[in-house]
């Protein structure tokens, strides 16, 4: 698994109207190389938002999740940022994601953090 695998997973998530089992499994596998503590997904998958939140909790314990958007049917306009909450002078990593569904924005933000950490 390379950085390109994470980039490809981000591209697939960006183009998705929602998160399904296959997309979630692909993204979790790509992120697992950077975050080895991520669990293997069990079938059947719970609600996609809950699954992605669980992955974020496992990969980034203590990080803040900011989610904003407008719930417009049939698609919302969601933005997510993930940021480590600590008071230090280190360069901060901020994961960003957007999407028509909450799970899409959350998953893209998680992969964005994975990509930044993989490049270090």
Provide the CATH number for the domain around residue 16.
3.30.160
Is residue 15 exposed (0-12), middle (13-18) or buried (19+ Cβ within 10 Å)?
Answer: exposed
Torsion of CA 106, 103, 24, 112, to 10 degrees: -20
CA distance 50 to 65: 13
Question: Which of 4-18, 48-62, 69-83 is the least confident region?
Answer: 69-83
> How high is the pLDDT of residue 91?
64
> How high is the pLDDT of residue 76?
75
**Tokens for 39?**
């669990």
> Distance between alpha carbon 12 and the CA centroid of its chain, in Å?
12
Mind listing the pLDDT tens digit for each residue in 40-64?
A: 877 666 789 999 999 999 999 999 9
Q: What's the whole-number mean pLDDT along residues 64-90?
A: 81
> How high is the pLDDT of residue 5?
92
Whether the per-residue pLDDT at 75 is higher than 80: the answer is no
> b/e for 97-113, b at 16 or more Cβ within 10 A?
bebbbbbbbbbbbbbbb
How many domains, in total, are found in the chain?
1
**Which whole-number Å values give the CA distances from 35 to 22, 38, 55, 67, in the listed order?**
19, 6, 10, 22
* Helix H or strand E encompassing 105: helix 102-118
Which residue range forms the structural domain that includes residue 108?
3-118
Q: pLDDT confidence of 90, banded at 50, 70, 90?
A: low
């Amino acid at each position: 698994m390379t950085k390109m695998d994470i980039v490809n997973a981000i591209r697939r998530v960006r183009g998705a109207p929602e998160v399904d089992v296959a997309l979630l499994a692909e993204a979790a596998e790509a992120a697992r190389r950077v975050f080895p503590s991520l669990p293997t997904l069990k079938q059947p998958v719970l609600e996609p938002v809950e699954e992605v939140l669980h992955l974020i909790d496992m990969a980034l314990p203590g990080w803040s999740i900011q989610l904003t958007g407008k719930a417009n049917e049939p698609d919302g306009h969601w933005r997510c940022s993930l940021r480590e909450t600590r008071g230090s002078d280190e360069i901060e990593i901020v994961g960003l994601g957007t999407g028509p569904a909450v799970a899409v924005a959350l998953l893209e933000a998680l992969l964005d953090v994975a990509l930044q950490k993989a490049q270090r």
